[in-house]
Amino acid sequence: MPGLVEVLEAHGETTLVVDTPRLLEAARHLRDELGFDFLSDIAATDYLGWDSKDVSGYIGTPAGRDLNKPSTQGHQRLPRPKARRFSLSYHLLGMREGAPRVRLQAWVDDGEPVQSLVSVWPTADWHEREAWDLMGIRFDGHPNHRRILMDDDWEGHPLRKDYPIGGEPVRFSGEE
C-alpha cells in the first residue's frame, strides 16, 4: 500500500497509519484495489496534553495511583506518547461478506494541511468540513471549505483541548 507507515492491531481492529502527504494515494488504493467502497466516518482527535496534567479527560498524577491521596486513581501507567498533535481516523467499510473494516489514520500538526478525500468518497464533504470546524484541520482541495456547525465568523475550534468549556462570551444588552 502506498505511504504505509505502520499497521496496528488492537481490540480486533486494524489501523493503517499512512504518511500524511500520501493520504490521497493510499485512499485510492484502499478503495480501488482493496474494495473499501464505503467511508463510514472521519474522526479527528486532538492529543494536546495527552500525557500531562490539567487537561480535560485527565484525573490523577503521572506517577500513577497513590492510595493515600484522593483523586489519584488515574493512570496505572502513562499513555504511549503521540508523534503529532492531531490524528485523523478514516473509518472504512467493505460492503461484502464479512463486512471488513479498517481505520486509515494520518497524523498532522497544527496548521498543517491534509489532502481532501472528497474526490475518492463524496461523503467526505461534510465530515471534512466538520473536522475543520471543530478541530481546525485544513483540507487541501476541498471544494467548499467552510465551517458547518458553528457560525461562519466563529473564532476558534471548539473541540480542541485548549478551547475552554464555557468559552462563549456572554453579551448583555446595553453593553458596547
In the complex, which residues of this chain contact other proteins (CB under 8 A)?
A: 10-11, 13, 15, 37-41, 43-46, 50-51, 56-60, 71, 73-77, 79-80, 89, 91, 93, 95, 98-99, 101, 103, 118, 121-123, 125-126, 130, 134, 143-144, 147-151, 158-159, 163, 165
> In this complex, which beta carbon is closest to other proteins, that of residue 24 or of residue 39?
39
Please check whether residue 11 is in contact with residue 101, taking contact to mean a CB–CB distance below 8 angstroms. Answer: no
Please check whether residue 78 is in contact with residue 163, taking contact to mean a CB–CB distance below 8 angstroms. Answer: no
CB burial of residue 73 (10 Å; 0-12, 13-18, 19+): middle
> In this complex, which beta carbon is closest to other proteins, that of residue 2 or of residue 60?
60
Q: How far is the CB of 106 from other proteins (least distance, A)?
A: 14
Q: How far is the CB of 63 from other proteins (least distance, A)?
A: 14
> In this complex, which beta carbon is closest to other proteins, that of residue 2 or of residue 158?
158
> In this complex, which beta carbon is closest to other proteins, that of residue 25 or of residue 41?
41
Backbone angles phi, psi at 156, to 5 degrees: 85, 170
Q: What angle do CA 45, 50, 52 make, to 5 degrees?
A: 155
Q: How far is the CB of 47 from other proteins (least distance, A)?
A: 8
Cell 461534510, residue located: 126
Q: How far is the CB of 96 from other proteins (least distance, A)?
A: 9
Alpha-carbon span 122 to 31, nearest angstrom: 12
